[in-house]
Amino acid sequence: GAGVSQSPSNKVTEKGKDVELRCDPISGHTALYWYRQSLGQGLEFLIYFQGNSAPDKSGLPSDRFSAERTGGSVSTLTIQRTQQEDSAVYLCASSEINRNTNEKLFFGSGTQLSVL
């Protein structure tokens, strides 16, 4: 596709339920990132994928959070047993990995997660 696509755009769930958020990166981008943006805050790094492996998952806040990437393309962020403090916008980004452009991230429009 032309840009990074995320679905759903908005998700409302009940406390204790599991949710899955999807990210479809720009075709050919080998790097993929998940960030979380809580109300009134900047973006908080969650995890970084290079291909299908995650060399940096230092930002995942608890073991309720997990992510996977398959085929070097689509990624899914899963939050188990959601809590109200998980309410936030979850943003995905992708980038090429080469000498000249590896630090240029392209972001999707995010998923607004609301936990009631």
Partner 1 sequence: AQTVTQSQPEMSVQEAETVTLSCTYDTSENNYYLFWYKQPPSRQMILVIRQEAYKQQNATENRFSVNFQKAAKSFSLKISDSQLGDTAMYFCAFMKHPGAGSYQLTFGKGTKLSVIP
| Binding residues for partner 1 (CB under 8 A) | 31, 33, 35, 40-45, 48, 55-56, 58-59, 89, 91, 93, 95, 102-110, 112
Q: How far is the CB of 21 from partner 1 (least distance, A)?
A: 14
- Which residue number, 5 or 80, has a Cβ lying nearer to partner 1? 5
Select 59 or 80, whichever has its Cβ closest to partner 1. Answer: 59
CB of 102 to partner 1, least distance (A): 5
CB 21 within 8 A of CB 32: no
CB of 16 to partner 1, least distance (A): 26
Q: Which residues pair with 12 in a beta bridge?
A: 114
CA–CA distance, 56 with 6 (Å, rounded to integer): 21
Closest separation between CB of residue 36 and partner 1, Å? 11
Sorted by sequence, the CB contacts under 8 Å of residue 97 that are 6+ apart come out as 30, 31, 50
Residue (66 or 106) nearer to partner 1, CB:
106
Instruction: Give the up-direction half-sphere exposure of residue 3: CA atoms within 13 A in the CB hemisphere.
Output: 9
Could you tell me which of 113, 87, 115 has the C-alpha nearest to residue 9?
A: 113
